[in-house]
Amino acid sequence: MVSRILMHVGPSVANYGVLSSAVAPNLGFASPEFNQAMKYSLGQLREVTGADESYTPFIIPGGGTAAMESVVSFLSKDSNVLVVTNGVFGDRWEGILSRYPVKFKILRAKAGQAVPTNRIASELMEGGYDAVTITQVETSTGVRMPMKEIAAAIRPFVKLIIVDGVASIGGERMNAAQWNIDICLTASQKALGAQAGAGLLVASESAMSLLQNPSISGYFLDLRNWAKIMQNFLAGGGGYFSTPPIGTVFSLAESFRKIEVETMETRIARHRTCSEAFRKGIIEMGLDVVASEHLRSNTVTGIYLENTDIGQFLQAAMARGVEFAAGVHPEIRDRYFRVGHMGWIEPAHIMIALNAIEGALVSTGRKVEKDSGKLAAKTVLDKIIMA
Ligand code: PMP
């Protein structure tokens, strides 16, 4: 039996120190240790999102979708929202916003592509939008948006810029304060590499001032209920609105400790090199990447696999030691699979993944030149190994 590596699109490659931090302590949510873990994690959340002290950080139970839905706290009755979507997770805003008394319009790109910056800007320029939602890395395709460029182009035309960084924060650059982004959200289990169970976000001062408006939120995810206790944690105290994901927060704090030691600069470079090596390897094996070349992310890659039973292929890869993810984008669902290279990804994982893909391709009857993918990847990975 082969032991398995998780290279799903999140959770992804495990770090046992981080995961086991969630189960070690027999500690309650009112303990000084928990208060300290929250204070530290809220501070580090500002660091990894490039938010400064004017931003309020939140850590709430749930995950990415909870963080997304909590953003309704900043909207009012009849707020007009532009939803920019490159795939399934951008589309999720439609599902969320349609439950609330707000208006929205959708700008959608084809699979593997991104809505162009000038299209977003011209739509917002026409006016009347209170908020825009943008997904930094679209997990259904691996497409990354040029967030700095987009934020600069649209800032004058919209009050609230909301970025879903669930598949990017921790592996891609995000400078919320410098780029003037109001809300940046993520989840514990993706590129931050901690246990699943928490949604995270930072909100600018101007976003926070909107919490004074009458609420259209439900009860649990109304950030008005969470804002005060986050301030208490930041001040070194504690607080309760609903039981927090205690283990996840300890795991998150350990993850942030490791990120602080590694530094975000080095961590992003590690993600970039591993993803470039991986893509070089699969292209060398004759496969095509879903995302257009200039839009490929550090954290997720979608790979076309035409005329193949994808389920069988994924099982063959699993038998060779790596779990990947199936496709989910409705336009191309049965024609591709996805790989997560995020969090604690290292060069060795890339080599093992390419080895499993080669073996699985051969088992489905494809011709692949032996070791071609690994040798191609090695030329990129050697750069960090030798550095
Ligand atoms: N947004 C993006 C970009 C995601 O990748 C995901 C999860 N795949 C979500 C939102 C939803 O997060 P969760 O599954 O933690 O609710």
Q: What is the pLDDT of residue 293?
A: 97
Query: Does the pLDDT value for residue 180 go beyond 70?
Result: yes
Pocket test for ligand 1, best of 139, 140, 162 (most atoms within 8 A of CB): 139
Query: Does the pLDDT value for residue 386 go beyond 70?
Result: no
Q: Tokens 């692949």 correspond to what residue? A: 368
Q: Indicate which CATH number applies to the domain containing 69.
A: 3.40.640.10
Could you tell me if 270 and 199 lie in one domain? no
Q: What is the pLDDT of residue 383?
A: 77
Could you tell me if 251 and 340 lie in one domain? no
User: What is the rounded CA–CA span in Å between residue 52 and residue 202?
Assistant: 10
For 278-326, the pLDDT digits (tens) are: 999 999 999 999 999 999 999 999 999 999 999 999 999 999 999 999 9
Instruction: List the domain range (segments joined by +) for residue 225.
Output: 17-262
Torsion of CA 322, 333, 342, 113, to 10 degrees: 150
Torsion of CA 17, 34, 168, 334, to 10 degrees: 70
Could you tell me if 224 and 300 lie in one domain? no
The residue among 26 and 235 whose pLDDT is bigger is 235
Distance 90 CA to ligand 1 centre (A): 10
The domain boundary, picked from 213, 230, 262, lies at: 262
For 244-287, the pLDDT digits (tens) are: 999 999 999 999 999 999 999 999 999 999 999 999 999 999 99
Could you tell me if 170 and 285 lie in one domain? no
In 10 A of CB 156, how many CB atoms? 9
Segment 154-168 shows an average pLDDT of 98
Could you tell me if 336 and 300 lie in one domain? yes
The domain boundary, picked from 244, 262, 280, lies at: 262
Could you tell me if 281 and 193 lie in one domain? no
Question: Of 22-31, 45-54, 319-328, which gets the smallest average pLDDT?
Answer: 22-31
Binding site membership of 142 for ligand 1 (Cβ less than 6 Å): no
Q: What is the pLDDT of residue 1?
A: 57
Residue 107 β-bridge partners: 84
Residue nearest to atom 10 of ligand 1 (CA): 64
Residue nearest to atom 8 of ligand 1 (CA): 139
pLDDT averaged over every residue in the chain: 96
The domain boundary, picked from 230, 262, 294, lies at: 262
Binding site membership of 135 for ligand 1 (Cβ less than 6 Å): yes
Distance 139 CA to ligand 1 centre (A): 8
Looking at the structure of the chain, the number of domains it has is: 2
Binding site membership of 161 for ligand 1 (Cβ less than 6 Å): no
Instruction: Using pLDDT thresholds of 50, 70 and 90, give the confidence band for residue 211.
Output: very high
Q: What is the pLDDT of residue 385?
A: 61
User: What is the rounded CA–CA span in Å between residue 192 and residue 177?
Assistant: 20
Segment 33-61 shows an average pLDDT of 98
Q: Indicate which CATH number applies to the domain containing 330.
A: 3.90.1150.10
Could you tell me if 375 and 233 lie in one domain? no
Distance 348 CA to ligand 1 centre (A): 26
Could you tell me if 269 and 211 lie in one domain? no
pTM: 0.97
